[in-house]
Chain A
Amino acid sequence: MKNIKVLGSGCANCKTTLKLIEAAAKDTGADIELEKVEDIGDIMSYGVMSTPGVVIDGKLVHAGGIPDRKTVDSWLAG
């Protein structure tokens, strides 16, 4: 099971990113645990200044915008 964290202090793009990953996981049946990280100190501990960011199993894979669906699918598949 993959642990996916969405980093973002509650802006619209962060919520969209979270929903996008949720939807992608549902469609592909990928087994994931999705978390939202809202504390600014925690977000920055990943070295991210531009939100939303995405962390998979402790590794930062994306920052600064809504990822596109294909990229999300590749994270879930890989």
Chain B
Amino acid sequence: MFEAFASLLIYQILGVDPASHTGAALHFFVMDTTKIFFLLFIIIYVMGLLRAMLSPERVREYVRGKPKWLARTLAIILGAVTPFCSCSSVPLFIGFVEAGIPLGVTFSFLIASPMINEVAAVILVGILGWQLAALYIGAGLLVAYVGGVVMERFRPERWVEDYVWKIQMGEAQAITPDNSLSGRHRFAIAEVKEIIGRIWKWVFAGVALGALFHGYVPEAWVVEYLGGKDNWFAVPGAVALGVPLYSNATGVIPLAEAMLGKGVAIGTTLALMMSIAALSLPEMLILRKIIRWPALAIYASVLAVAFTLFGWTFNLIT
């Protein structure tokens, strides 16, 4: 349906030659933007109607006082289903610390949350198919679990800013939501506006990059420099590239689609996606308010190593 619409608009109405670079890029752009925004509206609205969104306040209550393995598993699952804006990571971190949740578990949550969320999951399935979606999500969960365990070994408590330990958190007050149908509808609409308002620019940037890649980058060049599985440097290169680049997980998907289409290896593509979504400079600067540089450096290195190992493994077995 989206492909037919894009063909109609670009080739028939605008009369762009399908064989040209411009034609291929424009077609990709129109197809992916319409498809992604359509999916975004539907998922966010439905999730909003169900009010399935968990708040960090509730996550904290679920996780506190549980045995560590269970706390970590819960934190990761909840991190994956909770939409969370990086501007909330400071209060969230402090809230977890205050509840006596181990720092390693908090790090697991911080890793899982930007990498995986239900919106990105549906878009992944819609664009890349369920196998790759499952692979990406499974890898994200695993990295979050192991990453948190490894962080703990370094005893990151040493590097938490002093004021964090002193903050006293008030009792969470229950907010009684308006659960009538019209209340739910208004909530869902507000969610659609809020989330799309927050991520539309990442989606556009991702689709535009994907379209350029799709239309203009020759396949031979890709195979030579990025694609070959034997090129061991491609995976760490992709991870390093992802650090200065920052995007919402949803925005990375069209770029990944274009890369896979040109023959970039799966492991390399997934490593880039994870790095762009979870390892970012702005996120690090926000976290700097609560933890000092050594802990941040370890956090970034643990993730970079995990993504690289993961990318290599997949390039080997696929």
Residues of chain A whose beta carbon lies under 8 Å from any beta carbon of chain B: 9, 11-13, 40-41, 43-51, 59-68, 70-71
CB of B170 closer than 8 Å to a CB of A? yes
Does the CB pair B94–A63 fall under 8 Å?
Answer: no
Residues of chain B whose beta carbon lies under 8 Å from any beta carbon of chain A: 55-57, 60, 84-85, 87-88, 90-92, 94-95, 98, 163, 166-173, 175, 178, 186-187, 189-191, 193-194, 198
Please give me the residue from chain B that is nearest to A59 by CB atom.
B173
Does the CB pair A49–B191 fall under 8 Å?
Answer: no
Task: Determine how close the nearest CB of chain A comes to the CB of B90; give it in whole angstroms.
Answer: 6
* Dominant secondary structure of chain B at its interface with chain A: helix
Could you tell me the distance between the alpha carbons of A48 and B175 in the complex, rounded to whole angstroms? 11
Q: Chain B residues near A11: list those with CB within 8 A.
A: 85, 87
Q: Chain B residues near A71: list those with CB within 8 A.
A: 178, 186
Task: Determine how close the nearest CB of chain B comes to the CB of A46; give it in whole angstroms.
Answer: 5
Could you tell me the distance between the alpha carbons of A77 and B56 in the complex, rounded to whole angstroms? 29
Can you offer 27 A-B residue contacts whose CB atoms are under 8 A?
A: A9-B90, A9-B91, A11-B87, A13-B85, A40-B90, A41-B163, A41-B166, A41-B168, A44-B94, A44-B95, A44-B168, A45-B169, A46-B173, A47-B57, A47-B169, A47-B173, A49-B60, A49-B88, A49-B92, A49-B95, A50-B84, A51-B87, A63-B55, A65-B194, A66-B194, A68-B187, A70-B186
Task: Determine how close the nearest CB of chain B comes to the CB of A8; give it in whole angstroms.
Answer: 8
Could you tell me the distance between the alpha carbons of A51 and B55 in the complex, rounded to whole angstroms? 11
